[in-house]
Amino acid sequence: MAEHFKEASRCLTCLSYLNEPVHLICGYICCLQCLNSLQEEPHGEGLLCPLCPMVSQRSDIRAIPQLGELISKVKELEPQLRVILQMNPRMKKFQVDMTFDVDTANNHLLISDDLRNVCCGHSEQNREEHAERFQPSLCVLGSPRFTSGRHYWEVDVGTTREWDVGVCKESVNRKAKILLSSELGFWTVGLVDNQLYTASTTPFTGLWVRPRVRQMGIFLDMDVGTVSFYNLSDGSHIFTFTKIPTAEPLRPFFSPAGETDDDQGFLSICPVINPGIVSPPNYPARG
């Protein structure tokens, strides 16, 4: 939320918070002092918009005092928002010892002997037929299933270019191509084409995530019906789904990238370390 506020309050010319914002006739917004940086119309007194061919005369330029006041409030609140949105280290006391459920894994997925690493293989695996197995989608569920209480786990996504992780209903259709949607019982966050982070809302929500996610913390609270996602590199909040129905069991959900020719397609479940002993993580300072 803080990052979205900050991005919407940024001047596209100087890339800092808008100071005395003004807009051109086409709607382009910048700081008052940044007008001097805009290209002038050849043989005229107008200013050229950096994003479109429209020309604005000086008399066309309008101040936006209400936006300036709002941005001042955003600047004041940003430190508080960052603190509020930081991951609470006490979540770790709810960490569960999780593994992949092979009986649910698509037959193109390779799962390590310790049941904590998964990737897409080059050939189909010869596994027993199970009604709960995903086919044709490249998905696998985690074990255990959850019916109540609070649960936390961590996933290492490494440098994988595409992935989706989260939770889903026990009853989701596993014999058809999966459409990740909260309306269909999937509450996930993922990376698309190595550049776009999304949440499986309807329609989907694009997410502002910095720095890049290498490890993700997932906190499911069945008592209030929420699941939250955190970037473990700095403890920042990524997204929270609310009003999740909990009348039926929920399962941890994983979908790694398709077949790759390198080792950048792995998803890994992080093991539990010192369960019950929680100390604040040493996140880097955030300016």
Across residues 56-76, what is the average pLDDT?
90
Virtual torsion, Cα 94, 159, 197, 182, nearest 10 deg: -50
CA angle, 185 then 186 then 192, to 5°: 155
Q: Could you tell me the two tokens for 8? A: 């919407």
pTM, 2 dp: 0.73
Compute the distance between CA of residue 106 and CA of residue 249 in angstroms, rounded to an integer: 21
Residue 84 predicted with pLDDT over 90: no
Q: pLDDT grade, residue 262 (50/70/90)? A: low
Tokens standing for residue 138: 């490249």
- The DSSP line for 89-133 is GGGGGGB---EE-GGGS-TTEEE-TTS-EEEE-SS-------TT-
pLDDT at 258 over 90: no
Give the pLDDT confidence score for residue 263 in this predicted structure. 60
Using pLDDT thresholds of 50, 70 and 90, give the confidence band for residue 78.
Answer: confident
- Supply the pLDDT for residue 3: 61
Which tokens hold the place of 186? 């999937």
Span between the terminal Cα atoms of the chain, in Å = 16
**Whether pLDDT at 282 is above 50:** no
CB atoms within 10 A of CB 69: 10
Phi–psi pair at 113, nearest 5 degrees: -60, -30
Q: What is the pLDDT of residue 192?
A: 93
For residue 249, pLDDT beyond 70: yes
- pLDDT at residue 92 in the model: 93
User: In 10 A of CB 271, how many CB atoms?
Assistant: 12
Confidence at residue 134, expressed as pLDDT on a 0 to 100 scale: 96
The pLDDT assigned to 195 comes to 87
| pLDDT the model gives residue 1 | 59
Name the DSSP letter for residue 270. Answer: P
How deeply is 134 buried, as exposed, middle or buried, from its count of CB atoms within 10 A (0-12, 13-18, 19+)?
A: buried
H or E, element range at 76: helix 65-85
Model confidence pLDDT, tens digit, residues 88-118: 999 999 999 999 999 999 999 999 999 999 9
Report the relative pairing of strands 163-169 and 150-156 from DSSP bridges.
unpaired
* Dihedral angle sign, alpha carbons of residues 235, 240, 244, 248: negative
CA–CA dist 234, 209 (Å, integer): 11
Taking residues 188-211, what's their average pLDDT? 92
pLDDT digits (tens, 9 = 90+) for 166-190: 999 999 999 999 999 999 999 999 9
pLDDT digits (tens, 9 = 90+) for 146-161: 999 999 999 999 989 9
* Contact (Cβ atoms closer than 8 angstroms) between residue 134 and residue 197: no
Residue 35: CB atoms within 10 Å: 15
- Mean pLDDT across the stretch 60-68? 92
